[in-house]
């Protein structure tokens, strides 16, 4: 292996390591919300943003990176969580979730904004900015 190839390999490994580190930090900023934990999350946080999703939902997977990017930008101003509707039907029913992905923005436990579908980053940010 030439010196140039070795250098390229080292740079690639460092970039991959850095990307994994950043991804883990973003993951840590998003909590898994459950039927049992919802009330605690709402009582301890003024602004809560919940992404209702399911494993089988293709648009949910397209929307996930958008949700994560916004969460990484605003995690100091709101709590971001994802709720799997198949595993937590009680909460989905409570909020009348009929389509996924659906994102709710709650302030003091009250729904202030409902975004249905895989919205773009600007749409999510603009909705959130009204409440933070």
16-62 pLDDT tens trace: 776 666 555 544 689 999 999 999 999 999 999 999 999 999 999 99
Mean pLDDT of the chain: 92
* pLDDT, mean of residues 82-99: 97
pLDDT attached to residue 113: 98
**Known catalytic residues?**
57, 60
Distance CA 49, CA 130 (A): 13
Distance CA 107, CA 64 (A): 22
Quick check: 88 pLDDT over 70?
yes
pLDDT band at 11 (very low <50, low <70, confident <90, very high): confident
> For the chain, which domains are there?
30-129 (3.40.30.10)
Residues contacting residue 117 through CB under 8 Å, at least 6 positions apart: 59, 63, 99, 101, 102
């Amino acid at each position: 292996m030439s010196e140039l190839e070795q250098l390229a390999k080292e740079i690639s490994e460092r970039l991959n390591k850095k990307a994994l580190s950043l991804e883990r930090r973003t993951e840590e900023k998003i909590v898994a919300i459950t039927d049992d934990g919802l009330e605690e999350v709402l009582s301890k946080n003024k602004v809560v943003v919940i992404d209702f999703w399911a494993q089988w939902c293709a648009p949910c997977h397209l929307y996930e990176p958008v949700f994560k990017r916004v969460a990484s930008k605003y995690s100091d101003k709101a709590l971001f969580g994802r709720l799997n509707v198949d595993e937590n039907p009680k909460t989905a029913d409570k909020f009348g979730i009929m389509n996924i992905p659906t994102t709710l923005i709650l302030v003091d436990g009250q729904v202030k904004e409902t975004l249905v579908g895989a919205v773009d980053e600007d749409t999510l940010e603009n909705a959130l900015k009204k409440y933070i």
